Amino acid sequence: MTMVSARTGLAELARMARVSGELGSPFVGEVLAAGLRQLGRGPHSEAVITHWEGDPASAALAMRFNAALHFLARRGNPPALAALYRREHDDFDGAIGAALAAEDDLIAGFLRRTPQTNEVGRSGALVAALMQVRSRFGLPFELLEIGSSCGLNLNLGRYGFDLGGVFAGDRASPVQVAPEWHGPAPQPAPLEVVSAKGVDLHPLNAGDPATCERLMAYIFADQPLRLHRLEQALAMARRHPPQLEQGDASEWLARQLAVPQAEGTCRVVMHSMVLQYLPPRDRAAVVAMIRDAGQYATPERPLAWVGFEWTETRSEVRLSLSWFPGGEERRVLAVCHPYGNAVDWRG
């Protein structure tokens, strides 16, 4: 380890403590700031952060730390931490320092595991892109999602959406997604999903209570509407289990794209906040195989590629779209809040 890498892990916690307010969560900013001050009380957690290899921002290191504390608070132990999250006191340093001392191994374990947030709010932007594809080809969708986590966004055809005053999906669904919308509304189009399949290296099971608790821990504690929507989406997944496989994203996608596509359907490859976790070689392979498959697309069997990802510099989150044939150039449809809370639509 070099001193540069040690500073980077600590600096990422400090950076996220500053910007959490911009993400609509000042409480999380206070949590991270106190955690940074108290980190020495959890030597194992401190070692993971200060010895972090790679880019801690793309690895969402600060969000792993925050999720560990939220997990403990939801569990109700340590009591002072649970009381802090119930807003019964404001001694952030005391509660978080005690949690680090008492639950150092659990927090360190959270830090070592890849986040699996499966943010349902991002489906609003994904559906806005799908509406553009439907307007272009007029066909129902066959969805292929990489990095599906629990597969909650594979159920987007069962959700309801208000996208700048344009409604899509099921208005009666218990899962409703209505991001703050800026710019013109997307062109209205039906949301019709004939099949949806996904893959994840470590897929999560909505029927497992421990899995549900882990997912809910990643929701910011001062954003109760997101938490409620996630609870409803998990309940939906238990009623309608997503078609989700365990496997490597690039290998799985290669197999799926090799399967003959039914005439009269639009095949869509989609992903949200996934590419940052793939090794560069796998990331390049995914892009190359999508573009290669696009060469064989026809108006009767079109292919679309929808992504919701950070830019390489992590300056903004972009909703991007390509379609084949005819729209191979990657287009930025919107700049979005990382959790889909807001969409700045460019169209």
Q: What is the pLDDT along the chain (347 residues), one digit of tens a residue?
A: 333 344 589 999 999 999 998 878 999 999 999 999 999 999 999 999 999 998 898 889 999 999 999 999 999 999 999 999 999 999 999 999 999 999 999 999 999 998 878 899 999 999 999 999 999 999 999 999 999 999 999 999 999 999 999 999 999 999 999 999 999 999 999 999 999 999 999 899 999 999 999 999 999 999 999 999 999 999 999 999 999 999 999 999 999 999 999 999 999 999 999 988 888 899 999 999 999 999 999 999 999 999 999 998 888 999 999 999 987 889 999 999 999 999 999 98
Instruction: Indicate if 12 and 156 belong to the same structural domain.
Output: no
Of 77, 112, 147, the last residue of a domain is: 112
Instruction: Indicate if 53 and 162 belong to the same structural domain.
Output: no
User: Structurally, how many domains does the chain consist of?
Assistant: 2
Encoded amino acid at 28, one letter: V
Of 96, 112, 128, the last residue of a domain is: 112
Cis ω for the linkage preceding 78 (within 30 of 0): yes
Instruction: Indicate if 133 and 261 belong to the same structural domain.
Output: yes
The predicted structure's pLDDT at residue 114:
83
- Distance between CA atoms of residues 130 and 123, nearest Å: 10
Instruction: Indicate if 247 and 169 belong to the same structural domain.
Output: yes
Instruction: Indicate if 321 and 192 belong to the same structural domain.
Output: yes
Residues 6 or more apart in contact with residue 300 via CB below 8 angstroms: 263, 264
Instruction: Indicate if 251 and 318 belong to the same structural domain.
Output: yes
Of 54, 86, 112, the last residue of a domain is: 112
Q: What is the largest CA-CA distance in the chain?
A: 63
Instruction: Indicate if 62 and 135 belong to the same structural domain.
Output: no
- Distance between CA atoms of residues 93 and 306, nearest Å: 42
- Please, which residues bridge with residue 304 across strands? 268, 323
Instruction: Indicate if 184 and 278 belong to the same structural domain.
Output: yes
Instruction: Indicate if 71 and 219 belong to the same structural domain.
Output: no
The predicted structure's pLDDT at residue 7:
59
In 165-314, which residue ranges form alpha helices assigned H by DSSP? 209-217, 224-239, 249-258, 280-294
Full residue range of the structural domain in which residue 226 is found: 120-345
Quick one: 320 exposed, middle or buried, by C-beta within 10 A (0-12, 13-18, 19+)?
Answer: middle
